[in-house]
């Protein structure tokens, strides 16, 4: 298991009874996105390849959804302004 600074999570095989947190999954997905082999990660972390690929797909879907969100949506701004006028 590698230990990083306090803001980053450790990655490596889990101890018996331990669960994969969202932060640990994120670190693994980032390693895949940086080009690490899924096969090598699967062996290192003792987790099935299909599960690693599932995590990557969910992460990419989340990225896509967050990029679709508008900041300063003009329709919402107009609605907020109308609501203020109404009282």
| pTM of the model as a whole | 0.64
Give pLDDT tens digits for 23-81: 999 999 999 999 999 999 999 999 999 999 999 999 999 988 888 876 777 788 888 88
Higher per-residue confidence, 82 vs 73: 82
What is the structure's pLDDT at 78? Answer: 86
The DSSP output letter for 12 is S
What is the structure's pLDDT at 5? Answer: 45
Give the angle subtended at the CA of 49 by the CAs of 62 and 56, to the nearest 5°. Answer: 10
What is the structure's pLDDT at 32? Answer: 96
Give the angle subtended at the CA of 39 by the CAs of 34 and 45, to the nearest 5°. Answer: 85
Q: Residue 31: helix, strand or coil by DSSP?
A: helix
């Amino acid at each position: 298991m590698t230990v990083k600074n306090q803001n980053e999570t450790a990655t490596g095989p889990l101890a018996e009874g331990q669960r994969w947190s969202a932060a640990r999954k994120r670190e693994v997905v980032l390693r895949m996105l940086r080009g690490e082999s899924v096969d090598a990660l699967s062996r290192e972390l003792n987790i099935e390849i299909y599960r690693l690929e599932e995590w990557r797909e969910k992460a990419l879907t989340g990225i896509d959804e967050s990029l679709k969100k508008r900041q300063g949506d003009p329709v919402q701004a107009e609605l907020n302004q109308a609501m203020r006028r109404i009282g």
